[in-house]
Chain A
Amino acid sequence: MSAESDMEYSDNDGDDYDYYGGQDDCDMETVDRSKADPEHFIFSCLKVEEVEKLLNESIELLSNSLQITPSLAKVMLHAYEWNAEEIINKYKENANDVLVFSHVKPRVPSIQGNSSRTVCAVCANTPPIHKYSALACGHYFCNDCWAMHFEVQIKQGVSNTIQCMAQDCEVLAPEDFVLSHVTKPALRERYQQFMFKDHVKSHPQLRFCPGPNCQWIYQAWVRVGARRVECLGCETLTCFSCGAPHHAPTDCATIRRWLTKCADDSETANYISAHTKDCPKCQICIEKNGGCNHMQCGACRYDFCWVCLGDWKSHGSEYYECSRYKEDPNLANDNQHAQAREALKKYLHYYERWENHARSLKLEEQTLANLKSRINQKVMAGEGTWIDWQYLWDAARLLKRCRYTLQYTYPYAYYMEVGPRKELFEYQQAQLEAEIENLSWKVERAETTDRGDLENQMDIAEKRRTTLLKDFLEFNTNNASSSKV
């Protein structure tokens, strides 16, 4: 069967190459899996402790090889997106540049003793000289002020990027400096939590699972194209590249556009254009609410014809000849309306289907739950074991997966340019949709459906899904333009 699907897309320029090219792993088993599942993506799901360990390894590596404190290593890793090797190499070339870039040292070395250690410039108090401290920039302030500064910053959610208190000074306070001034345990804990979150967010190989209250963190090595990661804890499907819900075959930029479009009221303007016209006299916006074309403007009481926008008086009461309005000078104007109407129709077409599948997906979530309890009942009643009914469970899960992909084909189609490729896409989409509905029908009536029949249907649906993904899911941004605009 895999040979068959290979045939289907081998004539399809270089796209198939991208799948395998995207995964630079020569492990045979991996290649096979990626053949079976075009969405296959190597990632791991890590616990907080595992990520801490991972981060600590980078920190240790850097602090050992450069002979610096772990706190400084953290500041530098944060600035260089956790690329320890890059830091080490650049540090060998020019240590000063690296320190300035990471805001460990000031751009211009300030003269030591620049700021006084008799009066604190912030609180105007005069503590003894040993109660002052400064960062590498040499701006001395009293310890109480540092403590207060850190407290205010931490309460505002700042952790890795707390700056020196001096004017125009960009030097950042490293962890050990902050913690040596902050004594409240709750605040110290908060600071470390924020630090950790910030580290994960700035790390190109890590991403928090966006599921509600979910503690898992994904790790992966590629951050381009629609990349499916599934959480071990909450089963949320996420795109590793952009953090949005997983969206194959649509790419990250397109799904962002689509979601924004659905969320904002960009279609309101099209609605106004499609369903309203401006009064030819006072320009107020009028919505037509009845069938009669004799309009009277509610604002200026002007009588006019909806079709040609001319004065109603000239229409007389005996004959009506607006049917020839196409030859009117209003043609261009009317064309605009027609275009807006067309655009609205197109958007609604895709949006309705997108919404409909989202709803079905939710309903099928219930089916899945019902199924589970029914299987449990059967098992309790001695009608076979879990293993006997496993196929039903698998069918429902497969249905969910197929429906999910189907939902995300609509934004893709919406932004596709008309042409043979779109025709092919919509053909495959229609095929997938038909098989999914068949499967859905059979899953809902699972107990009366023959097991072989159901498994056959599962196979067909999954085949359609992978075929579509194989042909249209692209990872290489350079080649993405070959299929999409």
Chain B
Amino acid sequence: MANIAAKRIKREFKEVMKSEEVAGGAIKLELVNDSWTELKGQIAGPPDTPYEGGTFLLEIKVPETYPFNPPKIRFMTKIWHPNVSSVTGAICLDILKDQWAAALTLRTVLLSIQALLSAAEPNDPQDAVVAKQYRESPQLFNLTAKHWTNVYAGGPSSIFDFNQKVQLLIDMGIDEHQARVALSTYDWELERATEQLFS
């Protein structure tokens, strides 16, 4: 079994390497070890989304029964998205679960994840807090996602107001990421975030 898996991954690796997406910088694939069981993926935030300009790293684990079972993929870069856990980076995507087909490849999967960044599925959320904000205050969601892209994925838009609020909490002795999560969760209301952090 492992034989098929390794062979497939090798071929897919080559396929991705010469694909036009790699040439265009949209996706990237890297090996982590020699056994072809672990890879590192990289996708560019799609244009006209809050993720534009950011680079997102993915952890890809290939099971022994690949390609008859799907690869296990999660975001290593922290991201604010309804279908990705803001804590673990776990992705909710049908083709990574029951809709997986052996004929799918890492390239198509990476492109599907990239497409997920352009078109979220808030009705099938992985992160309920993010999904609620996405539905109820889309503008605030956009700003928060941009802010996270800027801080964690090297995106271009730095949001002054948010940075200041995070800094205020850091000055109170709160860990930076913890402060950002609390503020993002409570729609950037300093008081409620502080209350939650100190309760």
Contact = CB atoms under 8 A, between A and B. Distances in A.
Contact of B104 (A141, A153, A164, A167): A167
Interface residues of A, number: 21
Given A152-B68, A152-B69, A125 B103 contact: no
Interface string A138-153: 0101001100110111
Contacts of A169: 101
A114 to B, nearest CB: 12
A139 to B, nearest CB: 7
B8 A122 contact: yes
Contact of B68 (A124, A149, A168): A149
A451 to B, nearest CB: 64
B6 to A, nearest CB: 10
B163 interface: no
A122 B67 contact: yes
Contacts of B11: 124
B32 interface: no
Contact of B103 (A121, A144, A151): A121
Interface in A238-295: none
A455 B3 CA distance: 75
B65 interface: yes
Interface string A350-373: 000000000000000000000000
A152 B65 contact: yes
A149 B102 contact: yes
Interface size, B (range): 10 to 19
Contacts, number: 46
Given A152-B68, A167-B108, A124 B101 contact: no
A144 B1 CA distance: 11
Interface string A209-253: 000000000000000000000000000000000000000000000
B103 to A, nearest CB: 5
A165 interface: yes
Contacts of A167: 101, 103-104, 108
B4 interface: yes
Given A123-B67, A139-B103, 20 more contacts: A123-B4, A123-B8, A124-B11, A125-B7, A141-B103, A144-B4, A145-B4, A148-B4, A148-B65, A149-B68, A149-B102, A151-B68, A152-B69, A165-B101, A165-B102, A165-B103, A167-B101, A167-B103, A168-B99, A169-B101
Interface of B: 1, 4, 7-8, 10-11, 65, 67-69, 99, 101-104, 108
18 contacts: A122-B103, A124-B7, A124-B10, A141-B102, A141-B103, A144-B4, A148-B4, A148-B65, A148-B68, A149-B68, A149-B102, A165-B101, A165-B102, A165-B103, A166-B103, A167-B101, A167-B104, A167-B108
